[in-house]
Amino acid sequence: MLVVGLTLSSPVSTAGQVDPSQLSYDATDNPPGPVAPATIARTDRGRATIRAVRLTEPLNVDGVLDEAIYQTPPITGFIQTVPLEGEPASERTDAWVLYDDENLYLVCRCWDSAPPEEWIANELRRDTNQLRQNQVFGALFDTFHDRRNGFNFYTNPLGARADQWITDEGNPNSDWNPVWSVRTGRFDGGWTAEMEIPFKSLRYLSGEDQTWGVQIRRNIRRRNEFAYITFVPASSGGSTGIFRVSAAADLVGLELPSAGRNIEIKPYATSSVTSDFTLAEPVSNDTNGDVGIDVKYGITANITADLTYNTDFAQVEVDERQVNLSRFSLSFPEKREFFLEGRGTFDFGSRGFTGGGGGFGGVVAEEDSA
């Protein structure tokens, strides 16, 4: 990149300290990419550009950061959103964004001055809301760099997984469950995590040399502290600050494999036999059967066709039982896979964490008995 003449951007700083009164959450203020071996370039207004590092040898995803690649200078300098807006994070976090021909890797070394017994980490279920009450580390990737949408991944010290498809800086779809893995570990002074995200689990434009958006966050729950790699205003909320895609850093240095046109085919068949053993005559059996198919085809990187024939909704995850003693109706999230594609686009009238569904919504209304 060649820069000629004067620019209006703030001077680049490599330190994590920032002046809270001069912070900006406008991604157009992001600085030029860092020069290797540096992995982050930062301005004194809290804006940043991050460099992804290509692996030259296989990475053993085991939660132990003992490979030579971790001698690369880490991404540091997290900034609090709450409770002290604009102040440096109270604990150090080292992060790396790595990749090879098949996978994207998000790695952290989270330092913590408290002993492990004081950490809040008690959840292993995938995508549960309770995970947000734990200590977490994660990142959102704006793969189309439209500063509106992204894919959010996070974990806790126990290795629980959570993922969301963010639409229009909100409307998270937690029923989006891509293939990815994570391994965590502990060291004297904190914990580590290595996330392995196949490129096939993401959607992005064709072309090898791309710029994405990325927002990296850490939550220290015992202090109710949320910190991000760029400045995110407290008005965006603590955990929901990750939805402010327009405040993300730029991610450069990626040499991506061809996006391709992913296709997913899920055929099914069912059969049944009904027998009546009470008849005096020899037992007669009535047989029945059915077949169907679901097809998901990526027409382009951001347009997907969903086709279904004779859909079998019997395999859909059962709604969680709820006892409602109020006069308000219950809302159940959509679980039918055919209606999950692009669900965030149809979540009208709500932002942030909601239970609304796409397709034919999951609201159960109850009539007043009075």
Q: Please list the rounded mean pLDDT of every run of 10 residues in the chain (370 residues).
A: 34 48 78 95 93 96 97 97 95 98 97 96 92 96 95 98 93 88 97 97 86 97 96 90 95 86 79 72 71 80 78 71 83 70 60 42 40
pLDDT, residue 16, reads 46
User: Domain 12-255: which topology?
Assistant: Immunoglobulin-like (2.60.40)
d(CA 346, CA 165): 13
Domain ranges of the chain: 12-255, 261-315, 324-370
C-alpha distances in angstroms, 183 versus 64, 106, 161, 247, 256? 9, 11, 10, 28, 24
The model's pTM: 0.78
* DSSP string for residues in 283-336: P-EEEEEEEEEEEEEEEETTEEEEEEES--GGGSPPPPP----SSSPEE-----
First to last CA, the chain: 71
pLDDT, residue 328, reads 85
**H or E segment and range at residue 162:** strand 161-167
d(CA 90, CA 47): 19
The pair of three-digit structure tokens given for residue 258, joined into one six-digit string:
């061809």
Helices (H), the chain: none
d(CA 161, CA 158): 9
* DSSP string for residues in 127-152: T-GGGGGS-EEEEEEETT--SS-EEE
Residues contacting residue 82 through CB under 8 Å, at least 6 positions apart:
224, 225, 226, 234, 237, 238
